[in-house]
Structure 1
Amino acid sequence: MNTTGETNAETAENEIEAASVTNRRQPFPQGFLDTISTGWTEREETLPEPREQAPFAATRRAALSAAFPGKRLVIGSGDVKQRSNDTDFPFRAHSAFVHLTGWGVDAVPDAQLVFEPTAEGHDVTLHFRERADRSTPEFYSNAAIGEFWVGPRPSLRAVAADLGITTAHIDDFATTDDDLVVGEDDGLTTFVGELRLVKDAYELTQMREAVRVTADGFADIIRDLDRAVAHPRGERIVEGAFHQRARSDGNWEGYDTIAAAGAHATYLHWTRNDGRVTPGELILVDAGVEVDSLYTADITRTLPISGTFSEVQRRVYEAVREAADAAFAIVRPGIRFREVHETAMGVIAAKVAEWGLLPVTAQEALDGDRGGQHRRYMVHGTSHHLGIDVHDCAAARREMYYDGIVEEGMVFTIEPGLYFQADDLTVPEEYRGIGVRIEDDIVVTADGAENLSADIPRTADDVEAWIARLRA
């Protein structure tokens, strides 16, 4: 209630003045303040049917409730992150929040999913700030939530119907000293991470879609290779071709694209992408599309820029593929996750020993205590879980992750590589500057595994034919 004698328009103007921290603000004339809330078509809100993932998210919430009886649990969506000055990065909700609500690209910042303990389990409420519509001064004055600035935002009623969750205004949310909060409580954070280790049917559908769009993105890259070759920063052309597909058919990339041509391919996380794309060399592209549900693919292909591999390039490439195929062949429920890496590394060690690059035998290099000489040429792991995060389930315990038992429904990568840096004197000159990685996304089935990205060409012969077809 206004008790100062101000008019509503004056109150609004003062609120705007108090909130303003910029020297660019233009004052609103009185006529604007008197009329801005009038003259709009009446809105009729039609409540949506529950979205496809709503029952799956409800099942996940039930599992979380059962694991923490009597505890008040808080899972936040997170807030926007500053990029520079008054410019923010695009908002992406916390992965545990997405998993437990089913809210994906349309989730809003600063929301809180609250599990209130009851005798029967928990009452779950999603608290968020309802839209600043035309009935409030924030409609035009608040660039963060005002609909004049950011477009329509969901109402409490609409989100409740959409997600199948009770909703309430964020002003009704308050913390307590006994709250277990994701990101602050290790037990809760670990549990919600491990809850994602096995994917349900909805999640697998989203993973397939993410891989499908990613495959289209790789085809776009090949079609644009000539333009990349012609540009002094051709790696950026490659990155841009993939980005266009990610934004047109998905939400974004699931992580920064690696477009590493020539010797840049030997740097595992090369994301500057400012180098030339030169015929005769290879380009390693590690990229994945994140779809609107926020599930992401993670695929790597290494392409001969001219369209054909040299003899040495093919030798390295096929060695990496052999390692990937060997790792895939052992995947089935009941093995330990670490066996995937161990199998791939057995092939890598054998190959570099065969080429005379090791000071010891392959068997000696594979010794867990005194070996490791082959790891000079592949220092990273072979596999990681994949889902809402590109490195999914990162908070899981080691005994559930690296030392864990593989189960049906798990999704992870297989991505061996070989990297011979340009100044590495331990390898013959013909190998220097060659970097190769092949990465596929795998789902564990009842009796083995399925390569979700198998339709993206993998063998050296198939890659050459793929490039020739798309550049014809």
Structure 2
Amino acid sequence: MMIPTDVFQARRAQLFAKMLPGSVALIASGSEQIRNRDVEQGFRADSDFWYLTGFTEPDSVLVLIRSPVLENLSQYQAAEAQTQPSRRITNKPVDNQAWLFLRAKDPEKETWQGRRLGVDAAPALLAVDLAFDIDELDAQLLDLLGHAQTVYFSFEQMADWGLRLADWLAELKSKARKGIQSPSQLFDLDEVLHEQRLIKSAIEIEWMRQAAQISVQGHLAAMRAAQVGGYEYQIHAAVEQAFRYHGSPRIAFNTIVAAGDNACILHYTENNAPLKDGDLVLVDAGAEWKGYAGDISHTFPINGRFTSPQAQLYNLVLAAQQAAIAQIKPGNRYDQMHQASTRVLTEGLLALGLLRGELESLLEKQAVKKYFMHGTGHWLGMDVHDVGRYKINGEWRVFEPGMVVTVEPGLYILPDDTDVEPQWRGIGIRIEDDVWVTEHGCDLLTQGLPRTPEEIAQWMQQTQMS
């Protein structure tokens, strides 16, 4: 289903308001990458580009032009026309404009590689002011930048833009005696655009809720597929089949299916080990919907029954997650959820004997890092580790309505950890949900999974019997 173009126009208008007068912003979709020989990787447009256009083709560039760049250009062209009557004056309005450079129609290439939108159809279908063949980018940008004071682009893409910008600026400098100026400021577009992306609109929250609910279906499929004697890759297949069946075009990140002590490897992706009786399996997977990511971690017993040590650690992680979620509300600092989760985990590990000492001393020394070495969460949006600052002027930022964050405490007891009793060794647990910050608190987008040991055991038993 097509997304209304006014969604993207509104986003561009919001960005225009933050750009300096007389500036130009450059946002590229990215190019297809070769997987091996003449086989391409599956292409996904750059998140910033999609956010501002809704367009998914490679080799495209969005150019945002903040007044008075076009006014200055029009005045210059009019003056040039008086001395050079043959010079063509482009009839362009002088307001803020969005120009799109994209691949031209090519029947032969489209027969092999798929349909292209083409230059002629782009303005109406994408609600941009002008569209050009991507081959015209250099010529058009030289004209524009000769009348701009500032250029915005992502400094993360310096390797892509750096040499090209250097060539454009050098050519403009060489024309200084003709009255041509060149931009005097280069700004990181991420500083303004990524803060804009951090606060989600109502429609974005609905898309993220759908991504989260499709992700839930994948994790339910994982529990249905788990059986002693099977393999991690069979669960992997069930997860991603459910994503596609429910309409997700792609995974949001590489799926993790980690059985037994593989769960102690945080980014384990081999997904080829056997499923053994008595082991837990940790599944970390998320679906994408309309460009937005879901991200869930779920840990459950392969045979449907937790052992006592597994249940004790699982309940501890679940309590830590609940404590963290309770801290998510407008006005609270981002780090408060991590402080809440680490306190619960430290208290629990101390009670179970995996940590020894005084509670406050253990908290001060961050002793829990031995078993919980990552953060409690991260921003979520178009990217699974989404954009936006975590600190402002060195201070943890406060939650605001429209932010979405994951909450994912965990415990990972290495199989060769001789500091703990054998019953705890090789257990890895992570519980992760996606949480939207609302006006008065928060809302769990990933509802629908059994979460307590009792709920999980009952759900798996009922599924096996049906």
- The answer to whether the superposition gives a TM-score over 0.5 is yes
CA shift for structure 1 position 300? 0.6
Alpha carbons 2:256, 2:269 under 8 Å: kept: yes
Distance change (3 Å), C-alpha of 1:446 and 1:428: same
Query: Which string of whole-angstrom CA distances, capped at 9 and with x for unpartnered residues, describes residues 30-89 of structure 1?
Result: xxxxxxxxxxxxxxxxxxxx9435222222211221222221110000111222222221
- What is the DSSP-based 3-state SS (H/G/I as helix, E as strand, rest coil) of the residue aligned with 2:189? helix
Which position in structure 1 is the counterpart of 2:262? Answer: 264
Residues 256/244 of structure 1: CA separation in 2 closer, same or farther (3 Å cut): same
Paired residue for 2:237? 240
Partner letter of residue 151 of structure 2? D
Are positions 1:118 and 2:76 aligned together? no
The corresponding residue for 2:337 is 340
Q: How does 1:158-173 map to 2 (within 5 A)?
A: 158-166=121-129, 167-173=131-137
**Equivalent-residue separation in structure 1 for 2:370 and 2:95 (angstroms):** 52
In 2, the alpha carbon distance for the partners of 1:467 and 1:401 equals 46
- Cα distance change on mapping 1:429 and 1:326 into 2, 3 Å: same
Distance in 1 between residues matched to 2:315 and 2:354, nearest whole Å: 17
Q: What residue number does 2:58 align with?
A: 109
The residue type equivalent to 1:430 in the other structure is: Q
User: CA–CA distance in 1 between the matches of 2:377 and 2:229?
Assistant: 35
2:39 to 74, 81, 87: 87
Partner of 1:52: 3
CA deviation after TM superposition for structure 1 residue 380, in Å? 0.3
SS at match of 2:258: strand
Q: Distance in 1 between matches of 2:11 and 2:128?
A: 13
Matched with 1:274 is 272
Aligned partner of residue 292 in structure 2, secondary structure = coil
Deviations 1:379-401 (A, max 9, x none): 0000101010000016x363289
CA shift in 2, pair 1:60/1:287, >3 Å? same
CA distance in 2, matches of 1:83, 1:190: 32
**1:427 corresponding residue in structure 2:** 420
* Structure 2 contact 390–396 (Cα < 8 Å) conserved: no
Distance 1:447 1:400 in 2: 26
Secondary structure of the residue aligned to 2:330 is coil
Residue 382 of structure 2: which of 383, 388, 405 is its match? 388
| Contact 2:213/2:447 (8 A) holds in 1 | no
Partner of 1:61: 12
Q: Is the 8 A contact 2:23 2:67 kept in 1?
A: no
Aligned residue in 1 for 2:441: 448
CA distance in 1, matches of 2:398, 2:353: 36
Are 1:100 and 2:52 matched, yes or no? yes
Match of 1:128 in 2: 102
Q: Does residue 288 of the first structure (1) align with residue 286 of the second (2)?
A: yes
Equivalent position of 1:188 in the other structure: 189
Which of 442, 460, 465 is equivalent to 1:467? 460
Displacement of 1:121? 5.9
**Aligned partner letter, 1:179:** V
Q: Which runs of 5+ in 1 are unaligned?
A: 1-49, 134-138, 140-145
CA distance in 1, matches of 2:326, 2:286: 24
Distance 2:314 2:291 in 1: 32
Query: Aligned Cα RMSD in Å?
Result: 1.9
Instruction: Decide whether aligned partners of structure 1 residues 280 and 443 sit closer, same or farther in structure 2, where only a CA change above 3 A counts.
Output: same
Sort the Cα spacing of 1:382 and 1:186 in 2 relative to 1 into closer, same or farther, 3 A: farther
Report deviation, 1:117.
2.9
Equivalent position to 1:252, from 246, 250, 253: 250
Give the distance between the partners of 2:275 and 2:53, measured in 1 at CA.
43
Letter in 2 for 1:222: M
Q: Secondary structure at the match of 1:148?
A: helix
Q: CA offsets, 1:304-329, max 9 Å, x none?
A: 10001111111000100000011111
The 2-side partners of 1:206 and 1:154 are apart by: 25
1:354-433 residue pairs with structure 2 within 5 A?
A: 354-367=351-364, 371-393=365-387, 396=389, 398-399=391-392, 403-433=396-426
Distance in 2 (CA, whole Å) between partners of 1:397 and 1:328 is 17
Q: CA deviation at 1:223?
A: 2.0
Assess if the C-alpha contact under 8 Å between 1:295 and 1:389 holds in 2: yes
| Cα distance in 1, alignment partners of residues 359 and 428 from structure 2 | 21
Q: Deviations over 1:125-177 (max 9, x none)?
A: 111002312xxxxx1xxxxxx11112322233433333222332212222457
The aligned counterpart of 1:46 is: none
Report if the CA contact (8 A) 1:190-1:397 is conserved: no
Using structure 1 for the length normalisation, give the TM-score: 0.81
Question: How many angstroms apart in 1 are the aligned matches of 2:62 and 2:296?
Answer: 33
Whole-angstrom CA distance in 2 between matches of 1:127 and 1:334: 42
Q: CA contact under 8 A between 1:222 and 1:471: conserved in structure 2? A: no
**Greater shift in the superposed pair: 172-181 or 402-411:** 172-181
Q: Distance in 2 between matches of 1:121 and 1:190?
A: 24
Give the SS at the match of 1:156.
Answer: coil
SS in 2 for 1:195: helix
Equivalences for residues 202-213 of structure 1 within 5 A: 202-213=203-214
Please tell me whether the aligned partners of residues 258 and 283 of structure 2 are also in contact (alpha carbons under 8 angstroms).
Answer: yes
* Partner in structure 1 of residue 162 of structure 2: none
Q: Which one of the candidate residues 307, 311, 316 is aligned to 2:313?
A: 316
SS in 2 for 1:115: strand
**Would the aligned equivalents of 2:151 and 2:187 in 1 still touch at CA under 8 Å?**
no
Is 1:330 the counterpart of 2:282? The answer is no
Is the CA contact (8 Å cut-off) linking 1:418 and 1:435 kept in structure 2?
Answer: yes
CA contact (8 A) 2:103 2:116 kept: no
Identity level (%) = 34
For the 8 Å contact 1:332–1:448, the answer to whether it is kept is: yes
Letter paired with 1:124: A
Please give the per-residue CA displacement for 1:422-466, whole angstroms capped at 9, x wherever unaligned. 001121110001011100000011111011112111111111122
1:179 pairs with one of 151, 160, 185: 151
Report SS of the residue matched to 1:173: helix
Deviation per residue, 1:81-112 (Å, 9 max, x gap): 22222222101111111111123xxx111100
Q: Decide whether the 8 Å contact of 1:444 with 1:450 is kept in 2.
A: yes
Counterpart of 1:198, as a letter, is I
Q: 1:309 to 1:401 in 2, by over 3 A?
A: farther
Aligned length, in residue pairs: 400
Q: Give the counterpart letter for 1:255 in structure 2.
A: F
